[in-house]
Amino acid sequence: MAAETQDEPDGAPPSVFSPVRDLVMPALELPAHFAFNERLKLDGLEFLAHLPEQTFPVAFFDPQYRGLLDKMSYGNEGRNRNRGRSALLQMTDETITAFIRSLDRVLMPSGHVFLWMDKFHLCEGFSHWLADTKLAVVDLVTWDKGRIGMGYRTRRKSEHLVVLQKTPRRAKGVWKLHDIPDVWAETVPRGAETHRKPVELQGALIAAVTNPRDVVIDPAAGSFSVLEACLQRNRVFLGCDIEG
Ligand SMILES: C[S@@+](CC[C@H](N)C(=O)[O-])C[C@H]1O[C@@H](n2cnc3c(N)ncnc32)[C@H](O)[C@@H]1O
């Protein structure tokens, strides 16, 4: 990984912190059938294939993990339990790899992917998804959901977000907010979609790695929580879900 420190002027000690972002997103021309700040109904891989390379400062990716249903299976999935989750199109390992390679292609240098991940993939490994990309893990945030869920042993109360960065990897001049804790407590309102992710956390991360009016992409957007985060933070959303 590239060194994340550099010498300060006037002999000051080296610092990794900077409140400014020195990266500028390239100009973007959108395909005619895409629109900003809308809930596009599209296959995410097809959507990504139409985007220009080396352009976007940040992408969110929240795959529909097949493994989670299998690991947490009580035998009555889709009937008494997990009805909403079971109805969604599950992604295979090959599909997730294809998404990550496409995201790598469209990200600008030093861009970030915020990859939501369940604890099973986190522990068993996901490095094969990053093979043949310029992406590497640079951080991890745990989301404390505030409510207790299911589990054979411990009961689940958290989810995880892996922070990937494309080369050249550096924080200074790229990541400009330095008050985001790596354990984040935020409760999603009762009755929200089962897979919905926290808007405030995603908004803070967006603010850290983009400038106002930069474009944030999400190719499997579910309830479009990232769209809401973008609108709150004066950023532009471009994303889709296969279910619309
Ligand atoms: C875990 S959910 C995303 C939740 C979202 N982050 C939120 O906060 O609401 C995953 C989504 O991927 C969608 N999906 C599955 N296969 C897809 C594909 N090939 N292209 C686009 N979306 C897909 C599912 O419809 C589902 O809404």
Return the CATH number at 56. 3.40.50.150
Q: What's the CA-to-centroid distance between 22 and ligand 1, angstroms?
A: 32
> Atom 4 in ligand 1: which residue has the minimum CA distance?
222
Q: Identify the residue with better confidence: 145 or 191.
A: 145
- The CB of 118 under 6 Å from ligand 1? The reply is no
Q: Identify the residue with better confidence: 93 or 221.
A: 221
Mean per-residue pLDDT, 159-181: 96
Peptide bond into 168 cis (omega under 30): yes
Per-residue pLDDT, 207: 98
Per-residue pLDDT, 85: 55
Has residue 27 been placed in a domain?
Answer: no
Has residue 16 been placed in a domain?
Answer: no
Q: What's the CA-to-centroid distance between 91 and ligand 1, angstroms?
A: 9
CB 146 within 8 A of CB 185: yes
First to last CA, the chain: 38
The answer to which of 1-10, 39-48, 222-231 has the lowest mean pLDDT is 1-10
Q: Identify the residue with better confidence: 219 or 150.
A: 219
Has residue 176 been placed in a domain?
Answer: yes
User: Which of 41, 42, 82, 89 to mutate for ligand 1's pocket (most ligand atoms within 8 Å of CB)?
Assistant: 89
Has residue 75 been placed in a domain?
Answer: yes
How many structural domains does the chain have?
A: 1
Has residue 46 been placed in a domain?
Answer: yes
The answer to which of 18-32, 57-71, 131-145 has the lowest mean pLDDT is 57-71
Per-residue pLDDT, 67: 56
Has residue 6 been placed in a domain?
Answer: no
pLDDT of residue 4 exceeding 70, the answer is no
Residues in the chain: 244
> Atom 1 in ligand 1: which residue has the minimum CA distance?
64
What's the domain range around 194? 32-241
pLDDT bin (cut points 50, 70, 90) of residue 52 is very high
C-alpha to C-alpha distances, 154 to 4, 119, 133, 138, 184, nearest whole angstrom? 37, 12, 35, 28, 20
Mean per-residue pLDDT, 61-90: 63
pTM score, whole prediction: 0.89
H/E stretch holding 141 = strand 135-144
- The CB of 44 under 6 Å from ligand 1? The reply is yes
Q: What's the CA-to-centroid distance between 21 and ligand 1, angstroms?
A: 30
Q: What is the C-alpha to C-alpha distance for residues 194 and 43, in angstroms, rounded to an integer?
A: 21
Q: What's the CA-to-centroid distance between 221 and ligand 1, angstroms?
A: 5
> Atom 16 in ligand 1: which residue has the minimum CA distance?
89
Per-residue pLDDT, 210: 98
Question: Over the chain, what is the mean pLDDT?
Answer: 88
pLDDT bin (cut points 50, 70, 90) of residue 120 is confident
Q: What is the C-alpha to C-alpha distance for residues 27 and 31, in angstroms, rounded to an integer?
A: 13
Mean per-residue pLDDT, 161-170: 98
Instruction: Give the side-chain half-sphere CA count within 13 A for 74.
Output: 12
Has residue 71 been placed in a domain?
Answer: yes
Has residue 73 been placed in a domain?
Answer: yes
Q: What's the CA-to-centroid distance between 10 and ligand 1, angstroms?
A: 50
pLDDT of residue 79 exceeding 80, the answer is no
Q: Identify the residue with better confidence: 57 or 68.
A: 57
- The CB of 88 under 6 Å from ligand 1? The reply is yes
CB 96 within 8 A of CB 129: yes
In terms of Cα–Cα distance, which of 60, 58, 179, 162 is closest to 110?
58
Query: Residue 153 has which token pair?
Result: 């042993």
